[in-house]
Amino acid sequence: MGGEAKLAQRPSIFEIVAQEEMRGMVRRALRYILVKYATRYPRYLLRAAQHFDETYGLLLLLLERHHLREWGASFSENFYGLRRSRPAPDGTVRNLESKDIRRSLLFLILVPYLTHRLDEAYEDEASRSTLGLPAGSETSRANEPTWRRQCRRLLRATWPTIHLIIHGSVPVYTLAYAFQLTDFPSLWYHLTGQYLRRAGAEDLQADETRIKERALARTLALSRLPFLPRTLKRIGYLLQGAMGFLRVALPMGVFFLRFLEWWYASDYSRALSTRPIPPPPSPLLPASSSDEDTEGLHVPLPEDPKTCPLCQKPRVNPAALPSGYVFCYPCIWKWVEDRATCPITQTPTQPEAIRKLYLSSSAN
């Protein structure tokens, strides 16, 4: 492959980062959906939600294996029109073989799963060590085998270095790839010996031809089995149609998730969701002393707004009622505890509704 052609097929660093981010976005979306429906149907989905990492890993295994076999790329890579390839000894591009697919699945699924689990185990051990707690319950680990205790000590001693190598390699490979110092965008691609390239017109045409040939082969295989009941044949045709539908539905679903992610982070969403603050309700008017239901308990408002209506002195420790009127805290507490009403409006209230106001002396 010529240098110019190779450079034209080389994905940009933005495409690499985008497909990595999309993988994390799919994980978060699936977790949200599973947890939401697990609360609604706990009998069927609670166990899957509790073991989300294993559930997600199994689904990802089926999805990635299908995409690697059909298109020679993972789901997120295929979404951005990328392909995995191995350099041949003669300098040409070689498509993935079965051993390459197995190696890709190892670094796409098993290695991230083990890394996540070891991170959790190390954080648990480190937090216990920092707080001076024993490494687990004495009753639960009294009979723990010696090899497990040695594994825990080995984890505490070696995992920080391994973690630094894994995460420290990300900026190193990113910068090296951006400056065309390497063809591998990450450590995992380097370990698999695979690099990414853009899918050309020949790749897309070959993919369509291969998919049509496989669909035709499945249809002919079903039609050549006369001993199968008609119902099973229909199920086979439905599964074949479902696979074709998933080819379109999965990318559309991911595009919809990316659109929602952009929408809720944009100013348009905030502008539409921001509602004007409604005006405050009209203040309650003082009760008239001539009302029959006041029974002589009406307290008039003082002329000075800084005066407590009950003691007729400057307010001390101001406190307000839901009616909006302010009193001295001791005065209003005793009044409400005895009469359970607002002394100004005569509306029912309780001592729990009294709210103390913390104001400066000039505002009292």
pLDDT score at 225? 64
Q: What is the pLDDT of residue 227?
A: 57
Q: Where are the alpha helices (DSSP H) in 266-347?
A: 267-273, 329-339
The model's pLDDT over 23-48, given as tens digits with 9 standing for 90+, comes to: 888 888 888 888 888 888 888 888 98
Residues 179-211 have pLDDT tens digits of 989 989 999 999 998 989 998 888 878 877 877
Compute how many other C-beta atoms are within 10 angstroms of the C-beta atom of residue 31: 15
For 222, counting Cβ atoms within 10 Å of its Cβ (0-12 exposed, 13-18 middle, 19+ buried), the class is middle
Report DSSP letters for 43-92, one per residue: HHHHHHHHTHHHHHHHHHHHHHHHHHHHHSS-HHHHHTTEEEEEE-TTS-
- Give this prediction's pTM: 0.63
Domains contained in the chain, CATH given: 3-199 (no CATH), 292-356 (3.30.40.10)
Mean pLDDT by 10 residues, the chain (364 residues): 66 90 84 86 88 91 88 88 80 77 94 93 79 50 73 89 94 92 92 89 80 72 63 63 67 74 72 70 69 60 88 90 91 91 89 85 53
Helices (H) and strands (E) in the chain, counts: 13, 6
